[in-house]
Amino acid sequence: MSAAHTDAHDHHHDHRPSGIMRWLTTTNHKDIGTMYLIFSLTMFFVGGIMALAIRAELFQPGLQVVNPELFNSLTTMHALIMIFGAIMPGFVGFANWLIPMMIGAPDMALPRMNNWSFWILPFAFAMLLGSLFTVGGGPASGWTLYAPLSVQGGAGVDMTILSIHMMGISSVLGAINIVVTIMNMRAPGMDLMKMPLFVWTWLITAFLLIAAMPVLAGAVTMLLTDRHFGTAFFDPAGGGDPVLFQHIFWFFGHPEVYILILPAFGIVSQIVPTFSRKPLFGYDSMVFATAGIAFLSFIVWAHHMFTVGMPLAGELFFMYATMLIAVPTGVKVFNWVATMWRGSITFETPMLFALAVVFLFTIGGLSGLMLAIVPADFQYHDTYFVVAHFHYVLFAGSIMSMMGAAYYWLPKWTGRMYSERLGKTHFWLTTIFFNVTFFPQHFLGLAGMPRRIPDYALEFTEFNVISSIGAFGLGLAQLLFVYIIIQAVRGKNKKATAQVWEGADGLEWTVESPPPYHTFATPPTVK
C-alpha cells in the first residue's frame, strides 16, 4: 500500500456525516437521546393542542367547538400521543443520555438498534395523526380502544392499530437495549447496588416494557382479526366476549402506568439528595420498593374493571392487591422526605419541580387508593374523578419530573446555565395552572360528570369554566419552557461552572463530558 493510499484509507474512516445525515444515521447515545427529547417535546405540544380543543368544547354546556365524533377522536388521540409520544420517548431520551454516563459505559450496547428504535417513532405518529383524516375519522373509542366500539370504526382504527404495533416495537427494542447496556457495560466496581437510582428505575421499567408491550400487541392484533378476518374474540354472537378485551388490555395497561411513573421516581431520587446536600435516605429500600411496585403492577389489572360484573372474590382480590401497592409507594415518599430532613436545602428550579412531584403525585396516589375501594369505585368509575386522578399521576408525576430533569441536566449537557429566574417563573405558572385545571375535576367526578362526553348538565358549568381557563394557562406556560431550553442550547446564557450542582457526596460534577463523537462511536477498523 502506498503512503497516499494509506492516508486516503484512514481519512475515509475519520469521515463523519454532517447535516441531516448525522441525525439519520447516528449511533451516538447523546444524539439519539437528544432526538428522543425533541420528539417528546413536539408530541407534548401536539397532544396539548388536542387537550385545549377538548377544554374549549367543555368551557360551556352544549356543543360549540368540535362535533361529537371529532371530540371522541380527540380524547382518544390526546391520550395515545401523550402516553406513547410524549412521556415514554421523553424518559427514553433521558435514559439514552444518562445511563451510559452514570454506569461508565462508552455508549449503549446496541447502537444501531438504538437508532432504529428512534426512527420508527416519527412514522408511527405520522400514521396515528393521519388516521384523523380518513373517511371515518380517527379512533373514537377512548385510548383503551374497547371493543365493540373499536371493532366498528373505519380505516382510522386500522391505522391506529398499525401505529401501536410500531410504537410497541420501538419500546421493546429500546428496553432490550437498556437491559443489555446495564447488565453488560457497567464500569469495573460499579456493582448493581452502587448504581444511581435513575439507572435502577430504568432497569426495572425496561423489564416491565418487555413483559407488557407484547400483550398490547396481542390485544390489537385480535382486534384487527375481529375487524377483518372473521374471528369473534370480542363478539358474543360468535362466542367471544368484549370483557376479554378489557382483561387483555389492562394486563398491559396497568404495568404501563408504572412504566410511565418509575423513571420519574428515579429522577426525583437524583434531584432531591443533590439539593438537600445529603445522600439518599434508604437506598436499598428504594431499590426493593421499585421492584415491589413492578411485581405488584402485574396482579392488579382488573381494578380498572370493577364495574364489569366480576365475582365478589375477584373484586376483593384486586381491591386488596391494589391497596398493597400503596406500601412500597409510601416507602418512596417517606424516603424522599427523610432525605430532605435536616438537609441544607436550596430551592433551585429542579428542586422545586422535584418537590412538586412528591407533593402532587401523592395526591394522585391517594385518589388512586380511593378508586381501589370497590364500593366507592362504582361511584367514581368513568367520571372526571378518574381523569383528575391520573393527571395528578401522569402530569404532576411524569411530565413535571421530566421538566425538573431538563433543568437539572441541561447545564451538564450544554455547558450553559439556564435562566434561574425564568425557570422558577415556568415552575410556578405550571404548578398553579395545573392545579387550577385538574383539582376541580375531582369535584366534577364526585358530582357525577362522566368522562369523554362533549356536553354536560348545567350544574357542572362553573368547575368546567375554571378547569378550561387553567388548561389554557397551563398550555401557554409551556412556551416559556421551550424558550428557556432554546436559550441554554444556543449558548446565550452564562457558562455552567463546576459548582453546578454540588453533589450530595461533596463531589461536584463538571461539564467536561466527552464530545458527541468519542473514540467508541465507530467500530475499530480491521486492517
In a domain, 55, yes or no: yes
Catalytic residue among 258, 380, 392, 501: 258
In a domain, 307, yes or no: yes
Catalytic residue among 27, 73, 163, 171: 171
446's torsion region: left (phi>0), alpha (psi -120 to 50) or beta?
alpha
In a domain, 145, yes or no: no
389 is catalytic: no
Q: Do the beta carbons of residue 305 and residue 344 sit within 8 Å?
A: no
Catalytic residue among 451, 461, 513, 517: 451
117 is catalytic: no
Catalytic residue among 165, 227, 303, 452: 303
Q: Do the beta carbons of residue 281 and residue 242 sit within 8 Å?
A: no
Catalytic residue among 30, 34, 57, 143: 143
Q: Per 3-state DSSP, what percentage of the chain is helix, strand, and coil (rounded to 5)?
A: 75, 0, 25
258 is catalytic: yes
Angstrom distance (rounded) from CA 38 to CA 61: 37
SS3 string, 127-192, reads: HHHHHHHCCCCCCCCCCCCCCCHHHHCCHHHHHHHHHHHHHHHHHHHHHHHHHHHHHHCCCCCCCH
Omega before 148 within 30 of 0, i.e. cis: yes
pLDDT of residue 14: 59
DSSP state of 87: I
pLDDT of residue 89: 98
In a domain, 164, yes or no: yes
Task: Provide the residue-wise pLDDT of the chain in tens; the chain has 527 residues.
Answer: 544 454 444 445 557 788 899 999 999 999 999 999 999 999 999 999 999 999 999 999 999 999 999 999 999 999 999 999 999 999 999 999 999 999 999 999 999 999 999 999 999 999 999 999 998 888 999 999 999 999 988 999 999 999 999 999 999 999 999 999 999 999 999 999 999 999 999 999 999 999 999 999 999 999 999 999 999 999 999 999 999 999 999 999 999 999 999 999 999 999 999 999 999 999 999 999 999 999 999 999 999 999 999 999 999 999 999 999 999 999 999 999 999 999 989 999 999 999 999 999 999 999 999 999 999 999 999 999 999 999 999 999 999 999 999 999 999 898 888 999 999 999 999 999 999 999 999 999 999 999 999 999 999 999 999 999 999 999 999 999 999 999 988 877 778 776 666 554 443 443 333 333 333 334 444 44
Catalytic residue among 57, 226, 256, 377: 256
Catalytic residue among 55, 186, 332, 452: 332
Catalytic residue among 26, 141, 170, 367: 170
Catalytic residue among 31, 57, 107, 348: 107
303 is catalytic: yes
451 is catalytic: yes
pLDDT of residue 499: 65
In a domain, 293, yes or no: yes
304 is catalytic: yes
Give me the domain span that covers residue 320: 2-135+150-183+198-509
256 is catalytic: yes
Q: What is the CATH number of the domain that holds 285?
A: 1.20.210.10
DSSP letters along 242-267, please? HHHHHHHHHHHHHHHHHHTTHHHHHH
In a domain, 524, yes or no: no
Angstrom distance (rounded) from CA 245 to CA 253: 12
In a domain, 476, yes or no: yes
* Residue 248 Cα to chain centre, angstroms: 21
Give the total number of structural domains in the chain: 1
In a domain, 77, yes or no: yes
List all residues 6 or more positions away from 350 whose beta carbon is below 8 Å from its beta carbon.
271, 274, 275, 404, 405, 407, 408, 501
344 is catalytic: no
